[in-house]
Structure 1
Amino acid sequence: MIRVLIADDQPLVRRGLALILSPDPDVEVVGEAGDGAEAVDLAGRLRPDVVVMDIRMPVLDGVRATAELARVCPESRVLALSTFDMDEYVVAALRAGAHGFLPKDVSPEELIAAVRTVHTGEAVVAPRLLTRLISTYVRAPDARSRGADTTALPDGLTPRELEIWRLLARGLDNAEIARDLDISVSTVKNHITGIFGKLGVRDRAQAVIAAYERGLVEAERRIT
């Protein structure tokens, strides 16, 4: 069973999420929290596998609650929810330790699939959506303005790993990377596992953030 804790400040939303998740034979909703502080407290007592966490909540918001859970209850993986796709708090949640996020208008099937994915330890953010978010909200320092060398990247990365990391950061999924480099998908997966280890990141989301922050790829400027 996948033990799930739901955290949202709106009782109607909590009930709706519970009604979506509970019928699945592999999911057990073990509790509901009305704010981030209550979510941290309940997670400490109930030890859920997955916490479905609204980002904007009173008392303690979802970002700070996620960071606290990563510290005190790391076995509970957070799936963050946001009202809007383009939400600066999503990147903050990923940095804080969330394993992914979904907009609240996803289908019930997508929500259940995401809970299952997060339970396995994988990120659940679609690559292109993740790239849009980071391109909008993560601003790597301008290396040229500070005279830094953008090749000063983590030691130990091979040229092939660097190439795959750059493509991953630009939003390509494993199959697209494989086609672009004319290699197998399994080879791409093996390289990505190695990249994660050398970067010291947990998943694809954090690897993309690291690429922008280290200047491997540049954030696109939005046209207003």
Structure 2
Amino acid sequence: MINVIVADDQELVREGIKMILSLYEEINILGEAENGKQLIMLLEKLQPDVILMDVRMPIMDGVEATKIIKEKYKNVKVIILTTFNEDEYIFKAIKNRADGYLLKDAGSEYIIKAIKSVYNGAMLLDPEVTVKVVKAFNLITNEKQSFDNLKHKLDVLTPREIDVAKLVAQGKSNKDICKILFLTEGTVKNYVTRVLEKLELNSRTELAVFVSQAGI
């Protein structure tokens, strides 16, 4: 059973998501929140596995809430719900280690897939959002990375580390990578940690953005 909390300032959206989730026996809806502050207070009493959270909310938005959640509740997974006109929020939430990104109009099966993916330690980035994420990366860092710069960064990775990076970018969990590359889970975990350190990245989602930019 995967315990989920839904956070969105629009009641209609919350009700719609809860209705979708209620159709699946493996999902248990623990609670809901109207904003990030209310969500943080809720986490003092409840212990969800996954949070589905709107990126733009009053009082405290999803970006700030994600930062606090990842600092205080490291095992809680955060999936950001977004629309196409919220570029300025996207990479900031990724920098705060959000585990996934979904468009608000995603289908029910895709939402469930996202919840299961992040629950199992993988990362899920909606393909339709990827271009927006890369664009946000470039805008927020104010440094559009050239191909040569990306190639230079890739040179610090071993062939096996590049293999791992590609699989992470495809949304594979450590267990998935173990089976594909015939490695132990501990070895895969060490590879992921080294890749993030070498590329000076903070999360699997940032790594997915990097791989997309580098074209590997």
| 1:93 lines up with 2:110 in the alignment | no
Which structure shows the higher helix fraction?
A: 2
Name the CA distance, whole Å, in 2 between partners of 1:192 and 1:134.
Answer: 26
| 1:187 lines up with 2:181 in the alignment | yes
| 1:217 lines up with 2:214 in the alignment | yes
Distance change (3 Å), C-alpha of 1:211 and 1:72 = same
Name the CA distance, whole Å, in 2 between partners of 1:174 and 1:99.
Answer: 10
SS in 2 for 1:46: coil
Name the CA distance, whole Å, in 1 between partners of 2:2 and 2:188.
Answer: 27
The 8 Å contact of residues 122 and 171 in structure 2, kept in 1 or not, is answered as no
Name the CA distance, whole Å, in 2 between partners of 1:70 and 1:125.
Answer: 18
Name the CA distance, whole Å, in 2 between partners of 1:4 and 1:152.
Answer: 41
| 1:137 lines up with 2:136 in the alignment | yes
Name the CA distance, whole Å, in 1 between partners of 2:51 and 2:132.
Answer: 22
| CA RMSD, 1 decimal | 3.5
Alignment of 1:1-224 (within 5 A): 1-84=1-84, 87-126=87-126, 128-129=127-128, 131-139=130-138, 141=143, 153=153, 157-159=157-159, 161-162=161-162, 165=165, 173=170, 186-187=180-181, 195-198=191-194, 199-200=196-197, 204-209=204-209, 217=214
Deviation at 1:134, TM superposition (A): 3.4
Distance change (3 Å), C-alpha of 1:94 and 1:192 = farther
The 8 Å contact of residues 9 and 34 in structure 2, kept in 1 or not, is answered as yes
The 8 Å contact of residues 157 and 195 in structure 1, kept in 2 or not, is answered as no
Name the CA distance, whole Å, in 2 between partners of 1:168 and 1:85.
Answer: 29
Runs of 5+ unmatched residues, structure 1: 176-184, 219-224
Distance change (3 Å), C-alpha of 1:38 and 1:196 = same
Identity among equivalent pairs (%): 31
TM-score using structure 1 length: 0.72
Distance change (3 Å), C-alpha of 1:80 and 1:158 = same
Deviation at 1:109, TM superposition (A): 1.5
Equivalent residue letter for 2:192: F
Give the number of the structure whose alpha-carbon radius of gyration is greater. Answer: 1
Aligned length: 199
Distance change (3 Å), C-alpha of 1:194 and 1:35 = same
Deviation at 1:74, TM superposition (A): 1.5
Runs of 5+ unmatched residues, structure 2: 173-178
TM-score using structure 2 length: 0.75
